[in-house]
Each structure stands twice: as C-alpha cells, then as structure tokens.
Amino acid sequence: MNGVMTERDDDAGESRRFLIGLGRGAAGAMLFGIPMLMTMELWQLGFYIERWRLFLLLIVNIPLLILLAHRIGFERTSTAAEAFRDATIAYGLGIVISSAILVMLGDIKPHMPFSEMLGKIAIQAVPASIGALLGRSQLGGQAGQDDDEDRKEGGGAVPDEISTSYGRELFLMAVGALFLNLNVAPTEEIILIAYKMTPWHALVTMVASIAIMHGFVYAVAFKGTHDIPEGTPWWHVFFRFTLPGYMVAMLISLYVLWTFGRLDDTAPAEMLMSAIVLAFPGAIGAAAARLIL
C-alpha cells in the first residue's frame, strides 16, 4: 500500500514540476517575445517575406530547439525523445502566445488572407519558442532546488555535458546571437546605419564587438563565466572562444539578413557593412547566452 502511495506521490510531483515548467515557458515566450510581437517591421515581414525562406527558418529552428531543450527543457532531459518533446512544447507555446498577442493587438483580423495570418504567426513563433525555453532558466525561482532533487533521485551529480563540449559552446553562442539578431534585423535602422558608416566606423565596431564579447564572458566576473586555470595566457581563451564566437555571430547575422531579404540586390561591401552592424548586438547575445543558458 505504501509503495502504491509513494508511486502516486512521485507521479504527482513529476506532473507538478512539468506544469510549473510549462507556466514558466509561457511566461518566457511572452517576456522574450514581446519586443518583436510589438514591432511593425516584423508584422510587415510576415506578409511579404518569401515563403521558402520563412519555411527554412522554421525548419532550422527545430533542431535548434531540440538541442536547447536538452540544456534547459521544462524538466531535466536524459534522452533525445524527451528533448524532442520539450522542443515541441516550446514551439507550440510560441505559436499559441504569438497568435493570442497578435489577435489582441489587432494585427490579425478575420478578414485577412489565411497565408498572411500564418506568415505573421510563424515568424513570431521562432523567437517566442526560444523564449519559452529560456523561461526555465531565467524565471525558475526554484530551478536550483529542482536540480538538487534530480541529483538526489539519481543518486549523485547530474553531468552537464553541454558546458564542457566546445562544439556546444559555439552552439549556445549561435542561439544567443540568433535571438538578439531577430530583435533588430527586421528594422530599417540596420540598413541606415550600415549606409552611413565609413570603413573606419566598421573597423571600430568590429574591435568593440570583440572586446565587449571577450570582457562580457571571460574578464568580468559574471555568474556562469568560464574558469580560466591560473597561468593560462589570455590569448588562448581569446583565440579559442572569443574570435570563433564572433565569427559565429557574423555568420548568424548574414543568415538573418538574408532570410529577411536585407541582402537582396546589394553590393558585397554593403552586405559586409550590414553584417558588421548586426553582429554588434549579435556578439553581445552570443556572449550573454553562455551566462543565461
């Protein structure tokens, strides 16, 4: 009898933790998605963006969410199936929250073509779904307690493989860069700034981006920063993490600009200028991702 009651208590506790994670995910989708949900350029992009580019962004977001869910899902995941489940839930939350807010703001109306509605919801669901997963790490007031419970149930410490894998370090940087780029890439200001900049401005922006990225993660004592063994030369960390991280931010910036059609009929020099401008917030997002994920 006691065994049955204990099993029921375990199931109830598991369901409660999952529902709490779901609530945090919905809150995260709103918190991190609201800047883009109230941005006019993204409303317009949902109408005129080429559908195959939007479809590619939606497809790219799926493995990104799965890998991210393995790190910060609604509950600690140990299998690919559990990570896929959390990623699916996060995508669903992103779609539901985006739809509800766009309807509430009057940006989606019954008389609109169905394809326009889908386009607006789809483009907003990408950052909202990432925000849904971020909600667990940023809004989880008892996240540490949950992790302690998981350790006790497992009989020891739970390995955090993603924090020790170099490839996954770069993946987290890519997620951070993508998330912040989606906030600013649709705006006309990116193109205007790139048009007004001189090569000297671009060089200073690149140097500042790299310096801020390096200091943000490795020099400033923020929670989640990397422990550098005593005696390790500064250039080792700089060339192993900071420069590759900045290149990741640049590539993500080029991809986002291309997705939103900002590189169409544009000279290579102008493309580079736009990427450098967008990589400035992208580099900060890449650096911050390692701290918050």
Helical residues (DSSP H) of the chain, grouped into ranges: 2-37, 40-48, 51-72, 80-104, 114-139, 143-154, 166-184, 188-196, 199-214, 234-237, 243-259, 268-292
Q: How far is CA 93 from the centre of its chain?
A: 15
Give the residue among 147, 131, 286, 282 at the shortest CA–CA distance from 217: 286
**In this predicted structure, what is the pLDDT of residue 12?**
65
pLDDT along the chain (293 residues), means of 10: 56 72 85 85 84 92 88 67 87 93 91 90 92 73 47 44 64 88 88 92 95 76 54 72 91 94 89 95 85 64
Give the residue among 10, 218, 30 at the shortest CA–CA distance from 132: 30
**In this predicted structure, what is the pLDDT of residue 271?**
93
The residue to which tokens 């991809």 are assigned: 255
User: Each residue of 168-226: pLDDT tens digit?
Assistant: 788 888 988 998 898 888 888 898 999 999 999 999 999 999 998 888 766 554 455 55
Give the residue among 224, 202, 199 at the shortest CA–CA distance from 280: 202
**In this predicted structure, what is the pLDDT of residue 16?**
77
DSSP codes of every residue in 131-174: HHHHHHHHH-TTHHHHHHHHHHHHTSPPP-GGGT-HHHHHHHHH
Q: Please tell me the distance from the alpha carbon of residue 77 to that of residue 166, in angstroms, as a whole number.
A: 20
**In this predicted structure, what is the pLDDT of residue 289?**
77
pTM listed for this prediction: 0.80
Q: How far is CA 130 from the centre of its chain?
A: 5
Q: Please tell me the distance from the alpha carbon of residue 206 to that of residue 246, in angstroms, as a whole number.
A: 9
Per DSSP, 281 falls in state: H
User: Each residue of 116-142: pLDDT tens digit?
Assistant: 899 999 999 999 998 888 876 665 544
Q: Please tell me the distance from the alpha carbon of residue 173 to that of residue 286, in angstroms, as a whole number.
A: 4
Spatial CB neighbours of 71, under 8 Å, sequence gap ≥ 6: 162, 168, 172, 293
**In this predicted structure, what is the pLDDT of residue 92?**
93
Phi and psi based region of residue 209 (left: phi greater than 0; alpha: psi -120 to 50; beta: remaining) = alpha
